[in-house]
């Protein structure tokens, strides 16, 4: 059976203008992104702000059309689907946005927000809509549901709004959920309860997830039994089982991300040996470094090598892929010596 989601050599460019007199320039935000997500699987997509996570999420949600490559849903190219197939895909894949303030219509009560897709997709008969809305609100722990149903977004907290957007995503019985930094705009104190809710729904419904986050600790929490892909400047630089990627990161960038997670105990954080980035500046998409994109910052940079050729994402063990000259050569042959006591 075909995987539920497949990105094959995906590229995405935008035309941008810097200043009113300058010409439009093309920025290649995603470059040769390859990802496969199996039925019911969770994939965490991790990377710092601006690296292309939302662009990837929007391609999977069918909002952005890739400029290169193919995006397949259950083995079918989404942009070559007929109307009926595309409708079915759009129902099956639901997006939860980062910003619960912008994603709800301020003039619509919760009831109407959730009612709309139920009727549009003929999920329940008109006379059963009220009960269905209450059932969905209960599922996302908005209790008592009959009270929440008649509130407007401005009467809700950020956490409650995010629960409403989750309930709206659930109306159509999704098969795959794209959650784009679903808690990053919420108060720290309520983040965990939303993550718990999503985890709970995932376990009950068995839906697959793309869980986007800039925080490797959050990826570990949400996708420990799943996969993790680490993205740097529009490329996937490491991919593997979340457990392995976190316990034993291979790419220097993943190592830097991991070491940057603060421990609750400041003493422990102080004692952690931080790999020294060569530069704190993130290069711009308009002026990408030659060779490996990470070489300008990489603590393990090899002069005359990393700045010459760009490494591809290569399979370096049965479960791990990495794009780094430390682990493979140009043909993709694995450098065994790099793995002594590592894999
Ligand atoms: N519609 C757009 N037009 C022009 N540039 C865009 C557009 N969307 C995203 N970008 C640029 O693409 C890069 C990646 O953005 P994004 O995917 O939102 O990153 P992330 O979600 O990882 O923070 C950024 O440099 C951003 O400015
Ligand atoms: Mg984003």
pLDDT in tens, 193-228: 999 999 999 998 899 999 999 999 999 999 999 999
Q: Rounded to two decimals, what is the model's pTM?
A: 0.93
54 lines ligand 1 (CB under 6 A): yes
338 confidence band (pLDDT: 50, 70, 90): confident
Q: Are the C-beta atoms of 35 and 5 separated by less than 8 Å?
A: yes
Sequence-ordered list of residues with C-beta below 8 angstroms from that of 340, at least 6 positions apart, any chain: none
Question: Over pLDDT 90: what percentage of the chain?
Answer: 78
Given a contact cutoff of 8 angstroms between Cβ atoms, the answer to whether 64 and 55 are in contact is yes
- The lowest-confidence range among 45-54, 122-131, 270-279 is 270-279
Residues with CB under 5 A from ligand 2 (ion): 53-54
| Residue 57 in contact with ligand 1 by CB distance below 6 A | no
Q: 311: Cβ below 6 Å to ligand 1?
A: no
pLDDT tens string 149-180: 999 999 999 999 999 999 999 999 999 999 99
- Which ligand is nearest to the Cα of residue 33, counting in written order? 1
pLDDT band at 17 (very low <50, low <70, confident <90, very high): confident
Of 33 and 203, more confident: 33
Rounded CA gap, 41 and 177, in Å? 11
From 7, 16, 29, give the residue whose CB has the most ligand 1 atoms within 8 Å, as the site to mutate.
29
User: Which residue carries 């999420």 as its tokens?
Assistant: 57
Neighbours of 119 (CB within 10 A): 13
Please name every residue paired with 36 in a beta bridge, in sequence order, or none if there are none. 6
Question: What phi and psi, each to the nearest 5 degrees, are found at residue 334?
Answer: -75, 135
Residue pLDDT, tens place only, 263-310: 777 777 666 776 778 888 899 999 999 999 999 999 999 988 899 999
Taking the CA of residue 16 as reference, the ligand 1 atom at the shortest distance is 4
Closest CA to 77 of 139, 9, 15: 9
The minimum-distance atom of ligand 1 relative to the CA of 181 is: 21
- Under the banding of pLDDT at 50, 70 and 90, the label for residue 339 is confident
Give the pLDDT score at 340. 65
pLDDT of residue 279: 85
Ligand nearest to the CA of 14: 1
Any atom of ligand 1 within 6 Å of the Cβ of 69: no
Find residue 228's DSSP bridge partners: 44, 240
Whether ligand 1 lies within 6 angstroms of the CB of 228 is answered as no
Cis-peptide into 146, omega within 30 deg: no
Do residues 68 and 10 make contact, with C-beta atoms less than 8 angstroms apart?
Answer: yes
Q: List the residue whose alpha carbon is closest to atom 6 of ligand 1.
A: 14
What pLDDT does residue 23 have? 85
Provide the mean pLDDT of the chain: 92
Does residue 325 carry a pLDDT above 70? Answer: yes
Q: How many CB atoms lie within 10 A of CB 234?
A: 26
CA separation for the pair 205, 190 (Å, rounded): 23
320 has a pLDDT exceeding 60: yes
């Amino acid at each position: 059976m075909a995987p539920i989601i497949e990105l094959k050599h995906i590229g995405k460019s935008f035309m941008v203008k810097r200043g009113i007199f300058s010409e439009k320039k093309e920025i290649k935000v995603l470059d040769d992104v390859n990802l496969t997500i199996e039925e019911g699987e969770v994939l965490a997509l991790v990377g710092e702000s601006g690296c292309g996570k939302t662009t990837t999420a929007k391609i999977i949600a069918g909002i952005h059309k890739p400029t290169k490559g193919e995006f397949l849903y259950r083995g079918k190219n989404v942009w070559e689907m007929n109307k009926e197939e595309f409708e079915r895909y759009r129902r099956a894949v639901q997006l939860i946005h980062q910003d619960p303030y912008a994603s709800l219509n301020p003039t619509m009560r919760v009831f109407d927000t959730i009612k709309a897709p139920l009727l549009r997709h003929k999920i329940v008969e008109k006379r059963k809509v009220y009960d269905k809305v209450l059932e969905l609100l209960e599922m996302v722990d908005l209790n008592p549901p009959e009270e929440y149903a008649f509130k407007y977004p401005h009467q809700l907290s950020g956490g409650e709004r995010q629960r409403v957007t989750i309930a709206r995503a659930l109306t159509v019985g999704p098969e795959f959920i794209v959650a784009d930094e679903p808690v990053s705009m919420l108060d720290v104190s309520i983040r965990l309860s939303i993550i718990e809710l999503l985890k709970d729904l995932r376990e009950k419904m068995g839906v697959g997830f793309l869980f986007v986050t800039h925080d490797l600790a959050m990826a570990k929490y949400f996708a420990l039994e799943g996969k993790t892909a680490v993205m740097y400047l529009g490329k996937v630089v490491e991919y593997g089982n979340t457990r392995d990627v976190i316990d034993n990161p291979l790419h220097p960038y993943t190592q830097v991300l991991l070491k940057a997670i603060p421990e609750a105990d400041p003493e422990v954080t102080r004692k952690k040996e931080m790999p020294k980035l060569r530069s704190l500046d993130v290069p711009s998409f308009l002026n990408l470094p030659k060779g490996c994109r990470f070489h300008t910052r990489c603590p393990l940079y090899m002069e005359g090598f990393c700045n010459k050729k760009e490494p591809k994402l290569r399979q370096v063990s049965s479960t791990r892929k990495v794009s780094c000259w430390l682990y493979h050569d140009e043909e993709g042959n694995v450098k065994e010596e790099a793995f002594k006591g590592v894999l």
